A and B are shown apart, each in its own frame.
Chain A
Amino acid sequence: KQEVTQIPAALSVPEGENLVLNCSFTDSAIYNLQWFRQDPGKGLTSLLLIQSSQREQTSGRLNASLDKSSGRSTLYIAASQPGDSATYLCALANQAGTALIFGKGTTLSVSS
């Protein structure tokens, strides 16, 4: 059974720091992987989607990488800002058309 783990569970950094959030999964046979942001009490905002054939995706200050063989994905946030404070969720689909399996998330706090 696929399991998704995110570490650390929480992270506090000063503004301006570059940081890395980690996601690991137990079964490397995935279809795609998505990173989401969730603000308290709110829904999910999709940040980046990586297909199984891709190694990384970039959007602005965000870069997500995927290494299927090692069962890992990382989300890199450059020059963090207080507005980046939120919970970041990693989720993956094992097959096309199937539901996403979520990790428990990393709660990020960026102080000014």
Chain B
Amino acid sequence: GAVVSQHPSWVICKSGTSVKIECRSLDFQATTMFWYRQFPKQSLMLMATSNEGSKATYEQGVEKDKFLINHASLTLSTLTVTSAHPEDSSFYICSARDQLGQGDDTGELFFGEGSRLTVL
């Protein structure tokens, strides 16, 4: 299957600092990537949809000024948690769809390994 890589896999930062998480599709192009957040023992909650070359679409309740998303190329989307606070500590996972071409898209989403953020 297609490979999605996330970096870093874990990060610890001080309260008030900003952290950038990268999501790369290694062997395919993705015009759309999705960012999810997962709190302990909870399921994945969609935060935003990242579209290459345009602004991200955020889910209700997600602060777009706090969670900055940039999708500058067909293989890279970044999530920046600005002025992080302890309540932002979570597991962040990105996903992308391997677009084989119109009419040939199975719609299967591939996920990165996730990035665990701990804010002290």
Contacts and interface: CB of A to CB of B under 8 A. Distances in A.
Interface of A: 31-32, 34, 36, 41-44, 46, 49, 51, 89, 91, 93, 96-97, 99-105
Interface stretch (B42-50, B69-77, B82-90): B42-50
Given A46-B1, A104-B42, A32 B107 contact: yes
A105 B46 contact: no
A49 B36 CA distance: 19
Contact of A102 (B43, B110, B114, B116): B43
Contacts of B1: 46
A36 B113 CA distance: 13
Ordered nearest first, which 9 A-B pairs have the shortest CB separation?
A: A43-B113, A44-B111, A43-B114, A104-B43, A99-B34, A102-B43, A102-B44, A49-B108, A99-B46
6 contacts: A32-B107, A44-B44, A97-B32, A97-B105, A99-B46, A100-B109
Contact of A93 (B93, B107, B111): B107
Given A89-B44, A105-B43, A46 B113 contact: no
A89 B108 contact: no
A51 B111 contact: no
A97 B97 contact: yes
A49 B110 CA distance: 11
A41 B116 contact: yes
